[in-house]
Amino acid sequence: MSTLTPTSSISFILNGRDVQLSGVDPNTTLNEWIRSQHGLAGTKRMCGEGGCGCCVVSALRKDPTSGKDATIAINSCLCPLYSIDGWQITTVEGIGNSRDGYHPIQERITQYNGSQCGYCTPGMVMNMYSLLKESPTPTKQHIEDNFDGNICRCTGYRPILDAMKSFAVDADPKKGGKCIDIEDLSVKKCSMPCAKLCANVTHTSSSTLWFRPSKVADIFTVFSKYPDKRIKLIAGDTGRGVFKGEALPDVIVDLKGIASLAAIEVGAKSLLVGATVPINTLIATLEAHKDSSPTSFPHLAEHLKKVANVAVRNIGSWAGNLMLTHDHENFPSDIFTILEAVHARVTVASSPTETSTHSLTDFLSVDLKNKVITTLMIPLSTANSVVRTFKVMPSHQNAHAYVNAGFSWSLNPSTHTIEGSPNPSFVFGGLQAHAVHATKTEAYMVGKSLTDPATLQGAVKVLQEELVAIPMPTEGSESFRLSLAYGLFYKFYLASIPDHISDRVKSAAVPFTRPVSQSYQSYDSVKSEYPVTEPMTKLTAKLQASGEAQYVADMIEPDGLAAAFVLSTVGNAKIGKIDASQALQMPGVVQFISAADIPGTNAYIQPPLALFEAQAVFATGSVQYAGEALGIIVADTQENADRAAKKVNVQYSSQSKPILTIADAIKANSIYDYPGEGNVVVVGDANAAISSSAHSITGEVSCGTQYHFHMETQSCVCIPEDDSYTVYSSTQWIEACQHAVATVLGIADNRVYVAVKRIGGAYGAKITRSHQIAAACAVAAYHTRRPVKIHLDIDTNMKMVGKRFPYYATYKAGFTDDGVINGIMMDVYTNSGCHNNDQSGDVAMSYIDNAYHIPNWHVTPKAVKTNNCANAACRSPGTLPAIFIMETVAQHVGEALGIPPETVKQKNLYQQGQITPNGTTLKYCNIREMWSKLYQSADVSNRTDQITTFNQQNRWRKRGLSVVPLKWGVVWNGSGPHTVMISIYATDGTVAITHGGIEIGQGINTKTAQVAARELGIPIDLICILPTNSMTSPNSNATGGSITCEYNCQGIIDACKILNNRIDPVKQKMTNPTWKEVVARCQSTGVDLSAKAFVNMKSDDHFAYSSYGVNCTEVEVDVLTGEVEILRSDILFDCGQSINPEIDIGQVEGAYVMGLGYWLTEKFVYDEDSGEALTHNTWEYKPPECKDIPIDFRVELLKNAPNPVGVLSSKACGEPPMCMSCSALF
């Protein structure tokens, strides 16, 4: 085929089978195509940016540089389908499944309890599979480094890393470590149903043309043939994940087939690298030839490992990265910064025979229309060269920089003066639209001696005078970024003269090297109670690891359609005109639906299910916040619907500046008048107690919002039946979802059947907010009379759906000389957003005391109204900020007295029998004993002394240690009801259960099965948990509050009691019968083998009981950059007698790490004028990744501590541990 003929077909191997496709839209991604195939839903979709890793698949292709076969992990969401022609693609189903047997990686991640909700698990598995295919004997360090692009919100990463590191060559065999057998890495032909459907599939074509040239000259032929077209040159095309909103190109030219652009040559003076060479190949080249340039190549290679993540670097090229910064302002390219610092140059071809070479700075101003980058030249460093590069970013991995910098100069070793050839090079990214040189400082340094103290002072003065930072709302303040730039220069300066600086400042010159993480878990169990208290993995963990576990987002309905929301782009404005005409002309679009098309009532939640007021599915008349839903576009595919939704034109009028913060709302007196104002906490006389105290202080505390970051975004499938609707929703609350659909359709609730099998993470976001998605989906199904699916893209999910409530508190506290707090007066404000239905201020009032007995309180809650989306429950809603506020007060008291805050905390801890501000008597309080136990096990006293010594010896790195206690009250009253149903099948004795809870990763299905097995006296493998649904579990309350497991376990006990009362008389008449024989006899004698239990637990006190915990966290901070390393975290948590300690350990770790993200890496930023969210994707919003967790992570469940009040002596554990994570701040 001529290289100038547009490609119209491709062939590749998928899971061992040949696939040929023709007529495919060149804009189709590999992920989009895979997920359109039945039986291949294991490859997930979430961010579409290469930022989360749930879409990772394995690709075997010839390395364009070496010509050898190589296996790599790739993000299928970024990979154009046409680009894999001739490749072998393996998905998670292709390496193992329930039919063909599971792969060792799938087995191992299950064994280590590394899968909770399971949505991220296939991507984790395939990332590890790709690594082992290429490196069968990796080290533990290699493995941890390899997981820099896979996000897990559930587990806290520890069990995943432990599972994967068990394959390491240096793994501990005593802990299950074992290298993989080479034979286990071979791909078997998949026998799953997809194999019959994945060949000869034709997709709708578009006008985009795809070319695969074989030589550089062909590129210019394309240029000349299509002079007026939008032409895009690609190698990996990973940049599409950063700039998703750009117009689709008319012509795509895939450069991977041009051998000269993949060439690498090491010369006497430089390294030449072709334009299509992937970043990881460049890293490997720099490391392989480090002896050729020992003062620069190792530093460049280490820095490049911080660019994006492994899967992106596997196919993303250095030239593509430079093009992103060439074509877009404010793209802080690390590659540009560090290569410019070492005087690298790029060659650009303007014709087959004409080229020009440019410095990278000059390259930015080159008009690249109809031109192509061909080569990178990196000069080899001299013996006198000193090179250092730096990157300061929000998290330790997979993040772009706040500020990056590259420095190089030639240093005379005898005089320590800076030589003028080559010129010093100081390059800073993140200050301006593009990286800039500090040219005046560079000139100043020539001829200066680094050992002269005046040199450093003069250089910093010049640097401060010449560097300027422009506003970048998502990247920190200008002063912050400038301080980083000064600090990085200082680090480089010191690193250049390590033998001439004092030991105390060397910490600035030597980078922190994170060791391989380690962990420790401890708990007890009672074997006589097994399978209850038995540590066991989730029943469906292997199905999750193999990709066979189906989520709503994975469902494919025959003749189904898809829908996407149209969002407002401003807040606090009137809606003028909504024009969907352009969107309706786009490929595959069926209909635009707005409020006027709703056959029933435009509300997805309203009283009595809503606390105060109805909330509309689609806005009418005005918009309250940027991101509010205006309607939906219905199309043939989700991708077409997503694209078309962005083409709906909306005009606004009368826009006012939005109120976005609590401070804005207080100033505008935008405060809700709601019943919660009556929940003022008044105990004793706080004012008098403070006035009579020896000391008093005033202060304020604030904490922001947090995106839930559930890996499965909000999703729903609605199927119109003959006289009803079937709804599959990723909801935590079936009853409210059912009613929402009935409300918008104007039908009775009994005409709506809702079922939920599992959810890919939730954390509260899917309690009420999922109903908006279900309601919109139902309206689309009503109009089209076809099944409709909505699977939100991450941008829509983050803009439209509510997040954690921000808080702000002002307080006055009085206390004694030794830190006993006598009284607190406090006003607590919470930002509810544009509606107050999910307000958490009242909840916070019950937890404001945390673990401290303070005799006098006066606390007033206030909820403010802003032009944010109505905020929603988020893991430990109200409790997390309340406990943080109280911990901050204790911290301030200690600082005021000049004593350790831990002394203040210990003196004020509750004792058994004392009464909380909400009137609960603490009958079983063990917080003081736990405090003492943790202090001893964590060696707090000795470590505190060691930290003092470390801080005295190091000026620029400091360590700190904080201990935070926890009292987390569990509320039964109003948290139910829940309904459980158990059916026993007489033919084989198997048992099916449905309950009122939703499996969201917390292990409720496994725990209820354990309880049923114990109560019925049967093996757990006879039990199957069926989807929760509105028929068998009507009117069940939402899954939340960390108590749904115990509610439904109690329901299991009650239902089993009913069954046993029926079965036992029959059994007693038989001689040593088997279970199967007993139930068969029951059936033959007319015994009902199904039972239903309705549970609505009550307690006399506000709290039925409390979960207690203590956490000690030690951190190290780089004073010059603010970068934080969590050295060690010790958690002691009272889980009662855990029903399943393996699952509960995972809950503790996951909650704690989610909290670390809230305090340390996650931030949400809005445009001050429009109110639009600016941090609405994985590019800007950074949950913790695997190197953000504690290096030494120790978790113990308190032993021999049965809960006298709890179900089967257990306690809640899903949310409480998150509240101790604030210890990392203190």
**Chain center to CA of 283:** 27
8 Å CB contact between 1016 and 1066: no
Name the residues annotated as catalytic: 1215
**CA-to-CA distance for 1070 and 1066, rounded, in angstroms?**
7
**CA-to-CA distance for 125 and 202, rounded, in angstroms?**
30
Helices marked H in 913-1043 = 927-937, 940-953, 1004-1016
- Residue 1198 sits at the vertex; the CA angle it makes with 1197 and 1199, to the nearest 5 degrees, is 110
Residues contacting 1151, CB < 8 A, separation 6+: 156, 875, 876, 1213, 1214, 1215, 1216, 1217, 1218, 1221
Strand partners, 1023: 991
Helix axes 121-134, 104-111, angle to 10 degrees: 130
Beta strand extents in 580-628 (DSSP E only):
589-594, 622-623
- What end-to-end distance do the CA atoms of the chain give, in Å? 66
Structure tokens at 530: 């097994």
8 Å CB contact between 336 and 326: no
Residue 205's closest CA among 19, 4, 6, 28? 28
**CA-to-CA distance for 978 and 993, rounded, in angstroms?**
13
Structure tokens at 1093: 């239990």
8 Å CB contact between 773 and 780: no
DSSP string, 8-68: -EEEEEETTEEEEEES--TT-BHHHHHHTSTT-TTS--S-SSSSS-TTEEEEEEE-TTT-S
Residue type, 829: Y
8 Å CB contact between 545 and 119: no
Structure tokens at 471: 């506003």
C-alpha distances out from residue 405 to 376, 401, 475, Å? 20, 10, 15
Beta strand extents in 216-365 (DSSP E only):
231-234, 251-254, 264-266, 270-274, 345-349, 355-359
Parallel, antiparallel or unpaired: strands 715-720 and 695-703: unpaired
8 Å CB contact between 941 and 1073: no
For the range 1062-1065, what are the long-range contacts, defined as Cβ-Cβ under 8 Å and sequence gap of 24 or more? 1062/1087, 1062/1088, 1062/1089, 1062/1091, 1063/1087, 1063/1089
Parallel, antiparallel or unpaired: strands 418-419 and 385-392: unpaired
Residue 156's closest CA among 1126, 1181, 1178? 1126
802: left (phi over 0), alpha (psi -120 to 50) or beta: beta
Residues contacting 692, CB < 8 A, separation 6+: 814, 822
8 Å CB contact between 968 and 1215: yes
8 Å CB contact between 748 and 758: no
Which backbone phi and psi does 1044 adopt, to 5 degrees?
Answer: -65, -35
8 Å CB contact between 959 and 1114: yes
**CA-to-CA distance for 320 and 339, rounded, in angstroms?**
14
Residue type, 72: I
**CA-to-CA distance for 348 and 340, rounded, in angstroms?**
16
